[in-house]
Amino acid sequence: MKSFLEIIAELFFIIFLFIFIILGTLRFELLNPVFVFSSLERNHVYEKLPSQFAESITNDPNLSDEEKENYQKIIASISPLQAKDVSRKNLSGVLDFINGKSKDLRFYISASSLGFIQGKDIGWSMSENEGTKGLMVFYGIGNKILIGFIITAFILAAFYFALKKYIFLTAGIVLLLLGIVGKAFLLVIAANTPSIEPSQVLLLLLSNSVLSDIAISWIGIGILFIVIWFFMRKIIVDKK
């Protein structure tokens, strides 16, 4: 039977484990260009982006019927390769800023990169807009998250001496449940999402690809931890 101190230790372990999972997910998945872009590729987001943007134009209340029709034709003509080029350049800029690799936050869409020779380029830079200096609070936050992740890892390591083999079982169950609930939530949201406007398309595509892959990774790691606990328990029983 577990003692009161063991129960308290498990409770605090779960709290720090949750913090550890969130920090690790942010630093090594959500803010990791390799993970993000591989997820977008794997889930065919670049292929879906032009067609879904074109469909969403009909839900924009700020456009006339004629404008909607014209924009639909233009956006639908954008190839997956062009969508990939624009998406990767702008997302890379955001991730570089958050991870402290660039001190300026920029968004830029070249008309020529989308195949429009006479079109007008669209550009925005934080350094050129005085009212956006508050965004500097996000500069380098990825490095701070990494520091928090390492500190939490040491705290969790200390819990091993109190919980021993149970640390893997507890961590596995928590990760498995988070992954299953997260994946189920995303599936429900995707199945019940009403007609959306163009500004919401990218967010929905990102959540259905990157966040879905994160949930799957939680499930995989959770199962791994449970398997480790099972074999550790079996080894201990065999020795007895």
Q: Is residue 86 part of a domain?
A: yes
C-alpha R_g of the chain: 23
The pLDDT of 146-156, averaged and rounded, is 93
**What's at 133, amino acid-wise?**
K
Q: Is residue 57 part of a domain?
A: yes
Query: Domain containing 86: what range?
Result: 49-98+104-138
Q: Is residue 214 part of a domain?
A: no
- C-alpha–C-alpha distance, residues 40 and 92, integer Å: 13
Predicted local distance difference test score (pLDDT) of residue 228:
85
Q: Is residue 232 part of a domain?
A: no
Contact 108, 121 (CB under 8 A): yes
Of 43, 21, 3, residue with least CA distance to 205: 43
The number of folded domains in the chain is 1
**Mean model confidence pLDDT for the chain:** 83
At residue 76 the predicted structure's pLDDT band, cuts being 50, 70 and 90, is confident
Q: Is residue 240 part of a domain?
A: no
Q: Is residue 129 part of a domain?
A: yes
Could you tell me which residue, 106 or 39, shows the higher pLDDT? 39
pLDDT at position 240 over 60 = no
Q: Is residue 125 part of a domain?
A: yes
Window from 29-38, 56-65, 100-109, 114-123 with minimum mean pLDDT? 114-123
Q: Is residue 7 part of a domain?
A: no
